[in-house]
Amino acid sequence: MTAPYDPSDREKVVAKLPSELRRELKVRAAELDTDIQDAVTLGVEAWRKTKSQIAVDTTGGSSFATYLPAGLYDKLKKDCKARGITYNQGIAQSIRLWLDRHPSPRPKPQRVTGARRIIFGNQKGGVGKTSVSAGVAQALAESGHRTLLIDFDPQGHLTKQLGHPLIEIDSPSLAKHMLGEVKAGGLADLLVPIKGGDFEDHLWLLPACKDAFLLDAKLATSRVVRIKETALEKALEPLEHDFDFIVVDCPPSLGYSMDTAIYYCRTRDGEDNDASGIVVPVLSEDSSADAYDMLEDQIQDLTEDLGVEITQLGFVVNMYDSRKGYVATSSLEEWQKIGEPPVLAIVPELKDQREAVRVKTPLLAHAPYCEQAEAMRTIARRISG
């Protein structure tokens, strides 16, 4: 097994559900900080106790998978047979019942600071910043949040993995906007809608550009950008009120580019301390801890030099596999012992993410019910709550 828990007390179930019901379930579960599988379980248990039935139109339904406690699946099928309805209808009615009994909480007051800004950073490469930032952005969008995902890494892996080309070196780009090399505005024209899954119509990508490798050097010598750390914020400011979340996949660097990203996620005046901040993907091994020490020093330097507050929202222990033995398990324990910032989730080492990258499809569209996808939803709930 690859995760530090035993899932043997649950069994996978698959049904056909209409897309609107699936989306409503995911949004409500996110609003109430509830796992989807727990919501469905509660719905099934409640449905089995009630004699009334709320017919749900399941025409044109597509695949939906979740996990129910062992034995509940068979009981549900028997109840469906006794009531003369299909299993798909039984699951749909159970979900509808849970939704009706768990209404959406009152909307939060209107933000005065624009989008919430979440950056994913770690000086060490290969820890999965790209896969985690992309998965969390998809989960946020799936929950009904208008989300912008920014490929701020000059290598452009995020852009390529989602099946899009990098912006050409002579074209307008985020880097050129940061350096004042293009007219104000127009950045919105570069956004690409990400299709597929229940996040469609809520997720956009700002692709990487081939000239991004030059950004650090140009920021260091630019006379146009007076305060280097503000360059990313000034470039993105026109977009902020169009989105609920802006998610940034940062470069594995401690240079000026990373400074601008860290400054961008600072706590602004009038903003809750945990509304924006940095998430740090790590591995269960010592080199990740060494890299985090360097990142923490950089955050501390910016905090002291500029008099700002940077919230570390938490760690994501990525690509975890307990079969690697003591090195992995003991390292995981060390991350968990830190306590603050907390470990937001443990993402198991499975083939689903690699397959999604190979076919250039978002994880939550390629394998929406895999363990890795559920981990992304957990992270999204914890940072958006």
For 19-66, the pLDDT digits (tens) are 889 888 988 888 888 889 999 999 999 999 988 778 898 888 888 988
The pLDDT, as a whole number, for residue 255 is 87
Judge whether 106 lies within some domain. Answer: no
Judge whether 58 lies within some domain. Answer: yes
- pLDDT of residue 112 exceeding 60, the answer is no
Q: Which CATH number does the domain housing residue 177 bear?
A: 3.40.50.300
In 3D, which of 11, 187, 25 has the Cα closest to residue 97?
Answer: 25
- pLDDT of residue 18 exceeding 60, the answer is yes
- DSSP H helices in 66-121: 72-83, 87-101
Range of the domain at 63: 7-101
Q: Which CATH number does the domain housing residue 79 bear?
A: 1.10.1220.10
> Quick one: 50 and 120 in the same domain?
no
Distance between CA 268 and CA 152 in Å, rounded? 21
Judge whether 306 lies within some domain. Answer: yes
Reduced DSSP (H G I as helix, E B as strand, rest coil) percent helix, strand, coil of the chain, to 5:
50, 15, 35
The pLDDT, as a whole number, for residue 4 is 41
Residues 165-182 have pLDDT tens digits of 999 988 999 999 998 888
Judge whether 355 lies within some domain. Answer: yes
Judge whether 108 lies within some domain. Answer: no
> Quick one: 127 and 192 in the same domain?
yes
Judge whether 210 lies within some domain. Answer: yes
In the listed set 101, 131, 155, which residue is the last one of a domain according to the structure?
A: 101
Q: How many domains does the chain have?
A: 2
The pLDDT, as a whole number, for residue 164 is 95
> Quick one: 152 and 94 in the same domain?
no
Confidence of residue 201 (pLDDT cuts 50, 70, 90): very high
User: Judging by DSSP bridges, how do beta strands 147-151 and 10-17 pair with one another?
Assistant: unpaired
Confidence of residue 8 (pLDDT cuts 50, 70, 90): low
The pLDDT, as a whole number, for residue 1 is 33
Distance between CA 316 and CA 121 in Å, rounded? 11
Query: Are 100 and 42 contacting, i.e. CB atoms less than 8 angstroms apart?
Result: no
Judge whether 274 lies within some domain. Answer: yes
> Quick one: 84 and 229 in the same domain?
no
- pLDDT of residue 6 exceeding 90, the answer is no
The full DSSP string for 109-139 is: PPPSS-SEEEEE--SSTTS-HHHHHHHHHHH
Task: Give the N- to C-terminal CA distance of the chain in Å, as an integer.
Answer: 30
Residues 212-264 have pLDDT tens digits of 788 888 887 776 665 788 999 999 999 999 999 999 999 888 889 999 999 99
> Quick one: 157 and 208 in the same domain?
yes
H or E stretch at 246: strand 245-249
User: Residue 45 class from Cβ within 10 Å (0-12 exposed, 13-18 middle, 19+ buried)?
Assistant: middle
> Quick one: 73 and 220 in the same domain?
no
Instruction: Give SS3 for 52.
Output: coil
> Quick one: 95 and 218 in the same domain?
no
> Quick one: 59 and 138 in the same domain?
no
> Quick one: 84 and 175 in the same domain?
no
Tokens of 333: 């324990």
- pLDDT of residue 2 exceeding 60, the answer is no
Residues 308-347 have pLDDT tens digits of 999 999 999 998 888 888 878 888 888 888 888 999 999 9
